Amino acid sequence: MDLILPLLILSIPVACVSWTVTHEELFREFHEYCVSRTEKDKSWLSRKFFYLFTCEYCFSHYVTIALLFITHFTLYFNDWRGYVLSFFSVVFIANIYMSLFGKIRIDIKRERKTIEKIEQGL
């Protein structure tokens, strides 16, 4: 239990940063640029590099690497094995958070559209 709470907490900033960079309006121009590079570049390596900025799952791996470098968070082992376990665990939990957030956003948009239709009908 001592390791679960830090795992759940450390996954929050990973999810937040990954979602913000890949989906939110703040980074729209950067996102569009990366999408165009993934579609038009001839180099396979270049296309894959720019793709990681368009996919929240892919990007969460790199954010997790940065977070683990900063925090030195490990699970169960204090050596490289602990970093490997924490890497995959943080990515897994962060992606659960992002999936839930995406579902909630869809539900909110659906409710807003329903409310707009009701208001227009009145």
List the chain pLDDT tens, one digit each, 122 residues.
Answer: 578 899 999 999 999 999 999 888 888 899 899 999 998 888 999 898 998 888 889 899 999 999 999 999 998 888 999 999 999 999 999 999 999 998 898 888 888 888 888 888 77
Whole-model pTM: value is 0.79
- DSSP conformation class of 26: G
Question: CA 119 from chain center: how many Å?
Answer: 35
Cα 95 from Cα 58, distance rounded (Å): 10
- DSSP conformation class of 25: G
Whole-Å CA distances, 47 to 24, 36, 39, 74 = 21, 9, 7, 32
